Chains A and B, each alone.
Chain A
């Protein structure tokens, strides 16, 4: 079959499913350097351990891989690289997971999901995580580039608005 098995709408329909309304779902994500630190901040040791385990497994799959120890050290620093072997016996080097991200999704007060993903601190002290990309609908290879983890806090007083949108002189900005 060349078409979707179903085609659901949750918000656009005349009777949207209230459960899934954007405003009723929240995700809390934090970056932690240890299970203890996580538990201290979140107050849920079991969740912190579960996220840590997920992150550690994920790190083995998605950490950047280097052919030489020196290349790894150049990016992540002296004490943060380790040797590994893949299933075919080829050796490579990867940075050690130095922290992890735990994301908890809530629907109202109910936790609806938990994820853990690895974080790596580079030689300049910047936190990075593997970018998405490989697999499924995305085909761009196995190499997963790293991307920065944006720093909190995420609030800033707005000083001006209206600096975008002036070109919209026609019916649609789409194509």
Chain B
């Protein structure tokens, strides 16, 4: 695994425009950064990332039976009691799931470590599935990367396959839903909708804020149609707690991701995984945290529900402390600190995608700090045959 500078495509902004990628620059700051890429060997991808991702996914799914049937575990995860039955029913009915992203710390050597599961509302999907794919294709066309270069990225094919598999059983109408004012979230649902249409699924877009309820508590779209399936790029825990959440348990609307994902997208799954698989090479020690106590050296504190690296507290072995601001409160966990490896002052985080139950690609975000926040840049990757000793760029 190496961080390799490379010439940008002269026309990448046009390429972005053509593909509707309108959040490559956010608030004036670069988000898509193709002045460098990460090079992996096939061995690193297959042995250190793909196989552990499949294994960790299977381990996480395997936890569900025990958790959804246990009031104690559901309480530890801070899932509100009125939704316990909904979560359990959705799992027992095996309501379909679409995708997730696990964040891995990986340096190129040794086992990748699971930092967290983003199994409810993962973003950076379009960048990983489409735009970095196109980047490699273009760079090969320009001769800057060898024709034999590859990429761990069958995300697109897996998404279309997943939608085609689910198509017969997703009640219609189906809407893709995100918050109105987030270009990034809209980009993600636009892309998912694009894939769904390619799989032959008729579907629409609906802002989260525009979801309605009928007098008998069913969710409706802007034309008063009862929503059959709602893909919501919006956290389940927020849906549970907001005003319309009380209509969820009796509603027939199928949610994607389904309510049982609230168990896996929760940082509390990390100590539960550790309790069951203590010492697993891809897991970090983790415990539930009552709060209050001082964080010991070598540990990180994370709220159960934080996103985009917000409200993270880190106490390094050398005594340094880092902390990020954010809106998240409530109970949390502590996790053994496994600092991201530094490459030229940047700290890459591997987002390893799971579509259906298949590990099918990665996207890399790198920040200038050990905590990956929403300031991180998305950087493409390629698989190069390091044995040949040829590395162009």
Contacts and interface: CB of A to CB of B under 8 A. Distances in A.
Chains A and B are bound partners: yes
A166 to B, nearest CB: 6
Contacts of A26: 202
A171 B241 CA distance: 19
A3 B152 contact: yes
A161 B133 CA distance: 39
Interface stretch (B72-80, B205-213, B329-337, B341-349): B205-213
Given A9-B130, A22-B202, A115-B168, A161 B96 contact: no
Contacts of B161: 136-137
B356 A138 contact: yes
User: How would you classify the secondary structure of chain A's contact residues: helix, strand, loop or mixed?
Assistant: loop
B239 to A, nearest CB: 6
Contacts of A113: 200
A163 B213 contact: yes
B93 interface: yes
A57 B165 CA distance: 17
Interface in A43-93: none
A129 B326 CA distance: 44
Contacts of B242: 163-167
B188 A174 contact: yes
B118 to A, nearest CB: 4
B268 interface: no
B327 A169 contact: yes
B94 A156 contact: no
B188 A13 contact: no
A86 B238 CA distance: 47
A175 interface: yes
Interface in A121-168: 129-133, 135-140, 145, 147-148, 150, 154-168
Contacts of A42: none
Given A4-B156, A22-B203, A137-B165, A175 B122 contact: yes
A1 interface: yes
B224 A4 contact: no
Given A12-B19, A169-B327, A3 B153 contact: yes
B264 to A, nearest CB: 12
A139 to B, nearest CB: 4
Interface string B10-41: 00000001111000001000000000000000
B150 A3 contact: yes
A170 B327 contact: yes
A145 B258 CA distance: 15
Interface in B125-162: 129-130, 133-134, 136-137, 150-158, 161-162
Interface in B300-339: 307-308, 310, 326-327
Contacts of A158: 212-214, 220, 224
Contact of A138 (B122, B137, B165, B234): B165
Contacts of A130: 169
B234 A27 contact: no
Interface in A98-121: 103, 105, 112-113, 115, 117
B356 A137 contact: yes
B366 interface: no
Contacts of B220: 156-158
Interface stretch (B225-233, B275-283, B284-292): B225-233
Given A173-B185, A174-B121, A174-B184, A22 B197 contact: yes
Nearest to B164: A136
Given A3-B151, A10-B197, A155-B224, A131 B212 contact: no
Interface string A1-26: 11111111111111000001010011
A115 to B, nearest CB: 6
Contact of A156 (B121, B197, B215, B243): B215
B308 A132 contact: no
A5 B215 contact: no
Contact of B202 (A27, A150, A167): A27
A156 B216 contact: yes
A139 B356 contact: yes
A7 to B, nearest CB: 4
B235 interface: yes
B162 A172 contact: no
A29 interface: yes
Contacts of A132: 96, 165-166, 168-169
21 contacts: A2-B150, A2-B153, A3-B153, A14-B18, A26-B202, A115-B168, A130-B169, A131-B93, A137-B357, A139-B357, A148-B252, A150-B252, A156-B218, A158-B214, A158-B220, A159-B214, A161-B211, A161-B213, A172-B123, A174-B121, A175-B265
Interface of A: 1-14, 20, 22, 25-27, 29, 103, 105, 112-113, 115, 117, 129-133, 135-140, 145, 147-148, 150, 154-175
- 9 interchain residue pairs of minimum CB distance: A163-B244, A174-B123, A137-B356, A156-B214, A158-B212, A12-B20, A163-B243, A165-B209, A175-B307
Given A172-B182, A173-B307, A175-B123, 19 more contacts: A3-B151, A3-B361, A4-B133, A5-B157, A12-B20, A26-B202, A103-B168, A137-B165, A139-B357, A156-B220, A157-B220, A163-B244, A165-B242, A168-B182, A168-B238, A169-B327, A170-B308, A172-B307, A173-B208
